[in-house]
Structure 1
Amino acid sequence: MYTREDKLKAVELFIKYDFSPQSVINELGYPCRGSLYNWHREYLANGNDIPDANPYLRYSEGLKRAAVDHYFEHGRCLARTCRMLGYPSKELLAAWVDELEPGRRVVNKTGRGITDDAKENAVVRLVTRSESAQSIADDVGVKRATLYNWKRELLGKEAPSKMTGKKRDMTIEELEAMKASLEADIDRLELKRAVLEGTVELLGKDRSADPGTLTNREKTILVESLRPAHKLKDLLDAVGLAKGSHRYQMRALAKPDKYADLRVRIAEILHESRGRYGYRRVHAALKIDGTTVSEKVVCRIMAEEELRACRPKKRRYSSYKGEIGDAPENIVKRNFHADKPNRLWLTDITEFSIPAGKVYLSPIVDCFDGKVVAHAVSTSPNAELVNGMLDEAATILAPNDHPVGHSDRGCHYRWPGWIKRCEHYGIVRSMSARGCSPDNSAMEGFFGRMKVEFFYGRDWKGWTTERFKDELDSYIRWYNEERIKLSLGGMSPVQYRKSLGLAA
């Protein structure tokens, strides 16, 4: 709800901007067009002013008391009172009831928002009560009929109330039968609660999970955890598990885990990669170790042991500052394949934001095998960052090497210093289309993998920028020398070049 000052400010801007509602909304962010026109009419009707809107001032104390009394005398229904009297709104009537009769308004008559535990407790009190059903309903804050609806939902339509009919005419046998029925109802409720709690606490499922949707293995684990307190038949019926399936799962659980050693090795591989490997690279690492196992088995074991790789979170840094002079054509055209080293190079700049400040990385990646042939790290994305990187990369070029240097349209690659260096080293410039990241998608993919494996999910508090730079350099060395690439047959870029007899 807007204050008088908010309305006056909007109306004054409305007049100032030649009665343009969109200009007011763009500047203030409120209100809608209809409200602005209404406020302007109210402003003119009150002599260039808007009175403070207080809904309580519209009704006298007598009208308020009459509405509150009608509410209590006619079933405590806000809607009925508003409909019969013709005033006020339900929200305003609720405020009057809380003001004149605090604590007496029934907040929830339908049971919405009441937890399952509270419902079960209310039903247990109902079937074992020494108090009236109405007092239980008032205590919970629902209608008496809602209480009996809960009872039918939890116990079924056949479940009797505690004492119905003429109590004095009931025989001892009938009372004993009723007692046994009530005890069975309580046992059924307690079993249901135990199954739900076991599903959440023992199996780690969500609180809304249905025990009937569990796997037979999970159901068997749950049943065995509850057997000391409940009968096996009742437990199997509660979770929907056949006795034969239970027996089969018990035999399966009694067998030794044939993947026990594999689970340990998978955890070691994930730890060695600092959580950077998903199940496919873990499978490739196992293959290098000489362990033959299916990818599906690796995936399942990682899921069971809750071993997860890092996940992406943030978007990348952009160095685009607008058009600066003419740009070269896109020679690459999204074909990032090179049959020899130093034929196609990709470059870009990415940003790392840590509590100590921002750090920028500028690498050159060779499309032959994905190796980072040169990189520079700085706390400022300036020309020195990219020029120094290019000078370092040029030291590995042979006299006849003239690679294509592909980049986005960042300002760093359109400055005279970069252009002169490319001409001096014989590098053919190529650029993506404006605002088209897929034109440099291989470089974007490298940054994405690097941030997932190295940056995201780690606490960088207390790290200086210099220490962060050292850690980033260490990652790039690991990326070149040790990180498995499935496209290279499970080898790192350095290992792949050595296998081909090329200089690493």
Structure 2
Amino acid sequence: MYSKYQRKKALQLYDQCKSISKVIQKLGYPTRQSLYDWIFERDSPPGYKSTRRKYNNTPDHPRHPSLKLKLETIHRCFELGENVQLVSEEIGYSRASIYTWRKKYILKGATALMNTGDDPRGKLPKGEPISSKEIEQLKAQIQDMQLEIDILKETLDVLKKDPGVDMTALKNREKSVIVDVLKNKYSLSLFLGKLKLSKSSYYYQQNQMKSPDKYAALRIRIFKLFVTTSKTYGYRRIHALLAREGIRVSEKICRIMTECKLKVNVKRRNKYSSYKGEITPAVTNIIERNFHADAPNFKWLTDITEFAIPAGKVYLSPIVDCFDGMLPAWRISTTPDASLVNNMLDDAIATLSEKEHPLIHTDRGCHYRWPGWISRMNNTGLQRSMSKKGCSPDNSACEGFFGRLKNEMFYNRNWSGITIEKFIKILNDSLFWYNENRIKISLGNMSPLEYRRSLGLVA
């Protein structure tokens, strides 16, 4: 472990200071016992040889003591607190052995302290030969269990079912797919009996799967519509788009989209809050969650929402018309200050005629309680309405607009590398698309602008 040079250097230093501790402290080696041995070997007379310890291996004092003695010794030394040296001298085994027993007991329990004689096994009892009939029964059970395992595995891998699926709840088409995957491993009759599938149903499904897909063209059209709408349209609005094209289908759209894994991803949003306390007197909640309007510019809703991207934060302040969800005006900014909502309100007021004075409902955010907002409302004769404190359902129609907007154009997209200016342009284009092209089921599968044109409200 140590070279001759290291031993020589340690012995020279010891001759100078005559201290074991100082040698170890200065050199960092060897152990105290090693240095004692080196000194003893150097200073012992020539021809001296240490006497070998004679092990007392008698029936009364075996070389390998019993498990009972080891456990009693550990109990006395480390539970009752008796002196290890005194116990060692009493039982005739070294202190190192006692500590070794304790270490093994802590790591692996009493089993680690057992000797061969502590657990005599004896002779094995004579067995009886099993009958061939029982062997065949066991083989059949093993094959049946292996069949269940293979069916479950293919159900998870091929059909993408959840673990713990009920085999009896599978459709005949799904059962036929599993049979095709494993038909070279088991007999067909064994499969059909296990899956409770009749032979006629199996061959019917085989013929159906081999026949051409009569919905192939419809699948392609549905996929294109799903992609062109930025993967934001569910089966109801896809159905509406197909109906506008003159394609008449029913519940098949939902099934086809499920088979093609065309799913709209929805993410929970974090709401931006502009509440800064009761800085001015609050006004009454006039709208009282009645978001229905019989005419445009009769009830308006507004709020502020936040878009956080790697490049920074962007804030949107729109007006939502309760009549059809149209956005008469909006403003986008990188700071949620008073000018954001005030300029937005100026733009919205500019769209009104002299006879139109809509009710504007807001939350209790500070922007709607500052002098700039209040003076604009009073000067144009617009009526204010406010939600209760911390009650988002009081402005749920506006919150719903924010949720749809973010689910369709913001969430589930990677905005890394997109600058603030580019994001504002994308957001602005999405709002124009929302007004002019995005269809709503409640509007007869028309966009807000198309709906107003159908009523003759706009050119």
- Write the distance in 2 (CA, Å) between the matches of 1:64 and 1:194: 57
- Write the distance in 2 (CA, Å) between the matches of 1:307 and 1:104: 60
- Write the distance in 2 (CA, Å) between the matches of 1:230 and 1:256: 28
- 2:155 aligned residue: 199
The answer as to whether partners of 2:318 and 2:331 remain within 8 angstroms in 1 is yes
Q: 1:64 to 1:421 in 2, by over 3 A?
A: farther
**Does residue 276 of structure 1 match 2:288?**
no
**Does residue 460 of structure 1 match 2:408?**
no
Report the alpha carbon displacement of residue 183 of structure 1 after superposing the two structures with TM.
5.0
Cα deviation 1:156-213 (Å, max 9, x = unaligned):
xxxxxxxx9444xx8xxx66x6765565455434433321221111111123334333
- 2:188 aligned residue: 232
- 1:336 aligned residue: 291
Query: Counterparts of 1:279-294 in structure 2 under 5 Å?
Result: 279-294=235-250
Report the alpha carbon displacement of residue 414 of structure 1 after superposing the two structures with TM.
0.6
Amino acid at match of 2:445: G
Amino acid at match of 1:63: H
- 1:357 aligned residue: 312
Q: 1:374 to 1:60 in 2, by over 3 A?
A: farther
Query: Does the residue aligned with 1:491 lie in a helix, a strand or coil?
Result: coil
Among residues 93, 99, 104, which one is paired with 2:107 in the alignment?
99
Report the alpha carbon displacement of residue 468 of structure 1 after superposing the two structures with TM.
1.4
Q: 1:185 to 1:327 in 2, by over 3 A?
A: closer
Amino acid at match of 2:222: I
Amino acid at match of 1:390: L
Report the alpha carbon displacement of residue 279 of structure 1 after superposing the two structures with TM.
1.2
**Does residue 447 of structure 1 match 2:402?**
yes
Query: Does the residue aligned with 2:332 lie in a helix, a strand or coil?
Result: strand
- 2:451 aligned residue: 496
Query: Does the residue aligned with 2:272 lie in a helix, a strand or coil?
Result: coil
Query: Does the residue aligned with 1:362 lie in a helix, a strand or coil?
Result: strand
Report the alpha carbon displacement of residue 447 of structure 1 after superposing the two structures with TM.
0.9
Among residues 456, 470, 486, which one is paired with 2:441 in the alignment?
486
- Write the distance in 1 (CA, Å) between the matches of 2:199 and 2:278: 73
The answer as to whether partners of 1:374 and 1:392 remain within 8 angstroms in 2 is yes
- Write the distance in 2 (CA, Å) between the matches of 1:334 and 1:100: 69
With structure 2 as the length reference, what TM-score do the two structures score?
Answer: 0.71
Query: Counterparts of 1:71-220 in structure 2 under 5 Å?
Result: 97=105, 99=107, 165-167=127-129, 184-220=140-176
- 1:266 aligned residue: 222
Cα deviation 1:68-96 (Å, max 9, x = unaligned):
xxxxxxxxxxxxxxxxxxxxxxxxxxx97
- Write the distance in 1 (CA, Å) between the matches of 2:106 and 2:256: 57
- Write the distance in 1 (CA, Å) between the matches of 2:165 and 2:105: 39
The answer as to whether partners of 1:98 and 1:104 remain within 8 angstroms in 2 is no
Moved more, 218-227 or 191-200: 191-200
Q: 1:315 to 1:97 in 2, by over 3 A?
A: farther
Query: Counterparts of 1:281-320 in structure 2 under 5 Å?
Result: 281-294=237-250, 296-320=251-275
- Write the distance in 1 (CA, Å) between the matches of 2:209 and 2:72: 74
Report the alpha carbon displacement of residue 316 of structure 1 after superposing the two structures with TM.
1.4
Q: 1:182 to 1:60 in 2, by over 3 A?
A: closer
- 1:127 aligned residue: none
Amino acid at match of 1:99: L
- Write the distance in 1 (CA, Å) between the matches of 2:452 and 2:228: 23
- Write the distance in 2 (CA, Å) between the matches of 1:308 and 1:96: 58
Report the alpha carbon displacement of residue 480 of structure 1 after superposing the two structures with TM.
0.5
Percentage of identical aligned residues: 49
Higher Rg of the two aligned structures: 2
Cα deviation 1:461-504 (Å, max 9, x = unaligned):
22222221111111111100100011111110111112222226
Report the alpha carbon displacement of residue 223 of structure 1 after superposing the two structures with TM.
0.8
Alignment coverage as a number of residue pairs: 355
With structure 1 as the length reference, what TM-score do the two structures score?
Answer: 0.65
Query: Does the residue aligned with 1:346 lie in a helix, a strand or coil?
Result: strand
Task: List alignment gaps of at least 5 residues for structure 1.
Answer: 1-58, 68-94, 106-163
Amino acid at match of 2:75: L
Q: 1:365 to 1:60 in 2, by over 3 A?
A: farther
- 1:53 aligned residue: none
- 1:376 aligned residue: 331
The answer as to whether partners of 1:360 and 1:380 remain within 8 angstroms in 2 is yes
Among residues 244, 262, 275, which one is paired with 2:200 in the alignment?
244
The answer as to whether partners of 2:269 and 2:403 remain within 8 angstroms in 1 is no
Q: 1:257 to 1:98 in 2, by over 3 A?
A: farther
Q: 1:329 to 1:461 in 2, by over 3 A?
A: same
Query: Does the residue aligned with 2:159 lie in a helix, a strand or coil?
Result: coil
- When the two chains are superposed, the root-mean-square deviation of aligned CA atoms in Å is 2.8
Among residues 62, 69, 78, which one is paired with 2:74 in the alignment?
62
Among residues 363, 368, 376, which one is paired with 1:408 in the alignment?
363
Amino acid at match of 1:262: L
Q: Which has the bigger relative contact order, CA under 8 A and spacing at least 6?
A: 2
Cα deviation 1:231-275 (Å, max 9, x = unaligned):
101111222323233233333333332222111111111111111
Q: 1:216 to 1:64 in 2, by over 3 A?
A: farther
- Write the distance in 1 (CA, Å) between the matches of 2:428 and 2:77: 76
- Write the distance in 2 (CA, Å) between the matches of 1:214 and 1:349: 48
The answer as to whether partners of 1:64 and 1:96 remain within 8 angstroms in 2 is no
